[in-house]
Structures are given as structure tokens and as C-alpha cells.
Chains A and B, each alone.
Chain A
Amino acid sequence: MKVLAALGAVLAILTGSAHAQSQPLTIYAAASLTDVFRAFDPDQRYSFAGSNALETQIRNGAPADIFASAAPLNTQRLFRQNLVGKPVTFTSNRLALIVPKSNPAGIRSVYDLRRKPVKLVIAGAAVPVGGYTRTVLRRMGLSSVLSKVVSQETDVRAVTGKVALGQADAGFVYATDARAVADRVTVIRIPAWAQPRVRYEIAVVSSSSKKAAAQAWIKTLLSARGQAALKEYGFLPVPGA
């Protein structure tokens, strides 16, 4: 009887462990990672939003295992407060200006935003893509076009959606998001000299109960397979890596 009880206990531990292993990770990720993460590993549980909003949720105790941010600022702030482990950079991106295929404002260059009356949509300043947008405009001497902003969105997908639906004349998004709606928008290149340094960071959330699994997932993302998936969706390698 004692042997049976012991066997039962061992079995319970083993099945419990296996159950924990098979439970999906909860991954909080920047909205721009939506398509690539879902394709890379559809078995996990995702929450996609602006990195600033996700940072706030994690600070408030949201049950995330992994945080993938579109800007180092968000992960580093949490790291300094020991709310996530040491972040690693895993990919990079570029900004692009998109206009609807019909291009009602006749925009051919970023400089046309200054010359022509346009309805511009961008992300809020606290959202990574919103911060990057302001950097681009400042670098190009075009901050005055911020007066033409008709809407400030909470994440890049909302900006992309509004332009793709023709609700705005132009919007600043990541090049990867522009690719995703290539049939509905025209992409206008931003000069390389004006591009901001868009770096994505990822980290294990300190309160996670699945740290080992989370670390393994990040390792897979950093592997050749993970990097190939990112490349397929238009993301760029980490410079100097």
C-alpha cells in the first residue's frame, strides 16, 4: 500500500510537471510583433498592445511570463525595478510613411507633409512608434507637420488600420506593418539618415512561475529559426550582432 501511495505521489509530480510544461506561456508583446509571433509559435497565449501600455500592466502585476518591447526604454525601466530579468535585443525595424492606395492628398515624399494639406495619423508620444515618429520628424526638420495630426493612436496597428481604411491621408508605422497591408497602402521611404534606432528587447518577467520555459522560448527566438521567422516578416537583424 505504501509502495502504491509512493508511486501515486511520483506520478502526480510527473504529470503535474508535464502539465506545467504544456501550459502556454503568457507573452506580452509590442503590437508590431503580432503577425510574426503568432506565426512563429501559435501555441502561446499573447497579449499585443503598445509597449508602454504593456509595461504599465506588468508594473501593476499582470500575469505575464515574457515581455517583448518595441523600444529598450520600456524593458529597461522594468529591469531597473527588478520587474523583469536582463533584457536582450532580438531584432530591429525601420519606420515608413504610408498613404492609402488612392492617395487623395497626393503625397510622394515625406517632405510633402509640409507642403500639402494632409490629415496625418501617428501614435501617441509614449508609444514607441510615436516616439520614433517624432524623432524622424525632428531629424528631418519637419516637426511643424505635427500640427496636421488629426489622431494619436495607442499602437501601430491602429495607425496602420486608419490609413489602410482611408480615414487618414498618411501615417507613420514600422516597415513591417506597412508590408502587412501592402495591398491597401503605398509605402513612402524615409531616408536612412533620418531613421531612428528601432531596437526590440525581450525579457522574462520576474513574477513568472515558468521562468525556465520562458527563458527557453526566448532562446528559440534568438536562434537561427527565430531570426529566420523575423526576417520573413521583414524585421531586420540586430546591427553588429
Chain B
Amino acid sequence: MDRRRFVLAALGAGSATVATPWLGSAAAAAEDDLAFANFGASTELLVRDFYAKAIDAKLVGAQTTSALRHGRSAAGWHAKAQSDLLTSAGDVPPDPEDFDFQWPLRTFKTKAAMVATGLAVLRALRGVYQTAAAMASEQSYRVLYASLAASVSQQIVALGGAAAAEPFPVALDIESASDAIERYLG
């Protein structure tokens, strides 16, 4: 399998794994689980907005553009999965209208700026997913977050190339990750 097919397959896996076994236990979701889902769903909406603008900016070739489209699709699925969890738990999930996404002026002017910003957001998101995969109260949530972390890792490689891959990515608490992305959420 060549790199392109590998990346596209991996990005697709992010959505393919979105079945809903965790919804059965949503009523029993612990408070930290809801915090992971709120942060995750909101940040995935941000990521989806990033991909949409990155595609529109036409800064990359056809292969990477295809990866960006898959990334946008995956972000939508990830947001929906966590929104469904929140709804099942009786919470109101985030909506794109809740945010006024703010991208630094030059983000979509050059490929380097676009990649750097995208990686910053994706790494913060993956860091929280890693923490959630270890700490969520239910087994089904841990499986969900492990899957989401894997998908976001593939997106990081697809966006930043092999140089963006990290052998031991750092898990983050929500507070640290929140500080990293707050400027973009508006």
C-alpha cells in the first residue's frame, strides 16, 4: 500500500470506527467523561472549520487536498460521536453557532503557516484523547477515545508529513489543551 492509500485508509478508519457502543452507558457518564466529550466535540468543530478553510485556500496539491477532505469528514464524524454521547447523557452538545472561530491572519496564506496551525490544534486534541483513553470511566468510552486518538494521529501525519510523527506523543489534561486552542475558538 503506498503512502497516499495508507493515509486515506487511516483517515477513513476514524469514521468507520464510529459505531455507537458507548451510548448505552451514556446515562452513567461520569463528570470527567462529559468534560472530555464537551472539549472533544467543540475542538472537532474547530478542526472541521480548519480543514474547510485549508481546502478553500488551495495551498497544497491534489493528494494532500484529498487528505484534507478526509480529515474534514473525520472531524465531522468525531464531533457527532461525542455530541451523541452528550445528548444521551442529557447534555446540550456544542453547535458551530456557539463559536466564532478565529484563525490568525496568515494561517491560510502559506502552506507552512497552515500546517503549523493545524498541527497545534490536532496535537492538543490528540493529547486529550490519549488522556481520555486512559481515564474515561467506561470501557466503551476508552475504546472510543483510543480510536479517536489514532485517527487524529493519522491526520497529523497526513498534514505534516513524516516529520510531524512523534513516537511518544504527550497526553494532555483538558486545562493545558484548552489553553492551546482557546485563541482559535473565539
Using a CB–CB distance below 8 Å, which chain A residues touch chain B?
109, 111, 135, 138-144, 189, 191-195, 197, 239-240
Contacts and interface: CB of A to CB of B under 8 A. Distances in A.
Given A139-B35, A139-B38, A140-B35, A191 B178 contact: yes
Nearest to B32: A141
Contacts of B174: 140-141
A240 B186 CA distance: 15
A193 B91 contact: no
Given A109-B175, A138-B91, A191 B34 contact: no
Interface string B160-186: 000000000000001100100010011
Nearest to B30: A141
Interface in B35-57: 35, 38-39, 42-43
24 contacts: A111-B175, A135-B92, A138-B31, A138-B91, A140-B174, A141-B31, A141-B32, A141-B174, A142-B35, A143-B31, A144-B31, A191-B185, A192-B42, A192-B98, A192-B182, A192-B185, A193-B38, A193-B42, A193-B94, A193-B185, A195-B98, A197-B95, A239-B97, A239-B98
A188 to B, nearest CB: 12
Interface residues of B, number: 21
Given A191-B185, A193-B178, A141 B98 contact: no
B99 interface: yes
Q: Nearest 10 pairs between A and B by C-beta? A: A141-B35, A193-B42, A192-B185, A239-B97, A139-B38, A141-B31, A141-B32, A191-B178, A111-B175, A240-B97
A232 to B, nearest CB: 19
Contacts of A189: 182
A239 B96 CA distance: 10
Contacts of A144: 31
A117 B136 CA distance: 26
A197 B97 CA distance: 10
A194 B178 CA distance: 10
Contacts of B34: 138-139, 141
Contact of B98 (A109, A111, A142, A197): A197
A142 B178 CA distance: 15
A208 B99 CA distance: 37
Contacts of B97: 239-240
Contacts of A139: 34-35, 38, 91
A214 B49 CA distance: 41
Contacts of A193: 38-39, 42-43, 94, 178, 185
A189 B34 CA distance: 20
A211 B113 CA distance: 56
Contacts of A141: 31-32, 34-35, 174
B72 to A, nearest CB: 19
Contact of A197 (B31, B32, B92): B92
A197 to B, nearest CB: 6
A38 to B, nearest CB: 28
A135 B39 CA distance: 14
A56 B31 CA distance: 33
Given A140-B174, A142-B31, A192-B98, 12 more contacts: A138-B91, A139-B38, A140-B38, A141-B32, A141-B34, A191-B185, A192-B42, A192-B185, A193-B94, A193-B185, A197-B92, A239-B98
Contacts of B186: 192
A122 B38 CA distance: 22
Interface string B79-99: 000000000000110110111
Contacts of A197: 92, 95, 98
A109 B182 CA distance: 13
